[in-house]
Structure 1
Amino acid sequence: MIIAAGFVLGALLGWMAARKRQGNRFDKVQYTLVYAIIFTILALFVTLFIDRMT
């Protein structure tokens, strides 16, 4: 669940970042994918850390 939330949060933040920089449609898609991948990887590490602690 944390991983899915990280993906969605990253995608939203990426879209907003590209829109703030006045990028075209391809820029928005690229930012969305990159941010989603980064946040998903971070969420994966958080999930692993939580799992190891319990």
Structure 2
Amino acid sequence: MIVIAAFIIGAAIGWMRAVKAGGSRADKLQYAAAHALALTVLGVFLTVLISRMT
């Protein structure tokens, strides 16, 4: 569940940053994908960390 939430939040953050920078549709998609992937990786590590602690 953390991974899915991180993916969605990352995509939203990336999209908003591209909009703020005045990017085209391709820029918005690229920013959204890059941020989504980065936060998804962090979400996976967080999930593994939480599962190891219990």
| TM-score category, normalised to shorter length | over 0.9
Poorly superposed stretches of 4+, deviation over 4 Å: none
Q: Which runs of 5+ in 1 are unaligned?
A: none
Residue equivalent to 1:14:
14
- Alignment partner of 1:5 is 2:11: no
1:19-30 superposed matches below 5 A:
19-30=19-30
What is the alpha-carbon distance in structure 1 between the residues aligned to residue 20 and residue 42 of structure 2?
24
RMSD: 0.3
TM-score, normalised by the number of residues in structure 1: 0.99
SS at match of 2:6: helix
Partner Cα separation in structure 2 for residue 20 and residue 48 of structure 1? 34
Identity %: 48
1:8: how far off? 0.2
Count of residues in Structure 1 that have an aligned counterpart in Structure 2:
54
